[in-house]
């Protein structure tokens, strides 16, 4: 409905459609709309203004293969191995330009998540619960990717990851719990188009969110860092999409 309305008439502010969508929930709806808008502002600042979007996004095997031959099909980012091979000055600059904005995003999202979790409808209303889980997984993602990059930076600087890989693994466990909770409360059940193995018109014969649904991109990054820092021989999942 919001999209149809904007196709006919632009709202006075970008937040107005949020207010309209959640107006039926009264004061709780108003509070949720405000929180969603603040999440959007925080993400815009970190991901667009500070260009950190590529770090929250996942990378599959095809994206990395394309980069080797000069094909860049989505915003690029510094790889873990590239960061490890930088000079100390370059790593410090990376921390300032990339890791600091991600940390700021975490600091802004954390209180907003608590604000959303405190709204009474979250316990029973599927729309409120879905927003809660969306903000929770975004916060976990920012914390996770920053932990992995800080592990690589620490190792390059001092020969030790400083416990940041362990931090990342703990966050990964939290993320799995969020995904499991969402899978248990899907609006439309398991979807052939989104999640299941099924014939379709793409080169991959499964739903286009299947890999994301089991955190394949997170696992791919975990394996990459453990191979780089600890000499792991675990195979890296392709996560092809």
Task: For the chain, give every domain's residue range.
Answer: 2-53+60-230
CB crowding 122-142: b at 16 or more within 10 Å, else e: beebeebbebbbbbbbbbbbb
Backbone φ/ψ region at 70: left (φ over 0), alpha (ψ -120 to 50), beta = left
Q: Sorting pLDDT into bands at 50, 70 and 90, what band is 57?
A: very high
Rounded Cα distance between 237 and 97, Å, is 29
Which has the minimum average pLDDT: 154-158, 161-165, 203-207, 223-227? 203-207
Token output for 28: 């709780």
Residues 21-47, mean pLDDT to the nearest whole number:
97
Rounded Cα distance between 217 and 238, Å, is 8
pLDDT score of 189: 75
144-191 pLDDT, tens digit per residue, is 999 999 999 999 999 999 999 999 999 999 999 999 999 898 877 777
Q: What percentage of the chain carries pLDDT values higher than 70? A: 98
pLDDT score of 177: 98
Q: Report phi then psi at 206, rounded to 5.
A: -160, 165
Q: What percentage of the chain carries pLDDT values higher than 90? A: 73
Q: Sorting pLDDT into bands at 50, 70 and 90, what band is 210?
A: confident
pLDDT score of 106: 99
Residues 117-139, mean pLDDT to the nearest whole number:
97
This prediction has a pTM of 0.92
Residues 207-222, mean pLDDT to the nearest whole number:
88
Residues 53-68, mean pLDDT to the nearest whole number:
91
Rounded Cα distance between 64 and 195, Å, is 23
Q: Distances from the Cα of 37 to the Cαs of 12, 95, 128, 174, 198, in angstroms?
A: 15, 27, 14, 25, 37
């Amino acid at each position: 409905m919001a999209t149809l309305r904007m196709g006919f008439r632009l709202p006075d502010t970008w937040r107005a459609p949020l207010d309209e969508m959640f107006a039926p929930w009264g004061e709780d709806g108003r509070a949720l709309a405000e929180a969603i808008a603040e999440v959007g502002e925080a993400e815009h600042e970190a991901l667009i203004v500070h260009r950190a979007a590529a770090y929250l996004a996942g990378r599959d095997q095809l994206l990395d293969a394309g980069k080797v031959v000069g094909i860049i099909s989505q915003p690029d980012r510094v790889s873990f191995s590239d960061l490890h091979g930088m000079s100390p000055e370059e790593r410090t600059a990376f921390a300032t330009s990339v890791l600091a904005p991600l940390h700021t995003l975490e600091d802004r999202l954390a209180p907003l998540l608590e604000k959303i979790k405190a709204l009474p409808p979250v316990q029973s209303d599927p729309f409120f619960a879905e927003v809660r889980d969306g903000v929770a997984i975004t916060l976990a993602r920012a914390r996770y990717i920053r932990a992995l990059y800080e592990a690589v930076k620490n190792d390059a600087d001092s020969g030790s990851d400083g416990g940041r890989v362990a931090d990342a693994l703990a966050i990964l466990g939290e993320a799995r719990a969020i995904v499991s909770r969402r899978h248990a409360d899907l609006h439309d059940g398991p979807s052939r188009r989104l999640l299941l193995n099924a014939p379709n018109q793409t080169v991959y014969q499964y739903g286009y969110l299947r890999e994301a649904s089991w955190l394949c991109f997170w696992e791919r990054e975990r394996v990459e860092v453990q191979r780089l820092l600890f000499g792991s021989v675990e195979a890296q999942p392709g996560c092809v999409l």
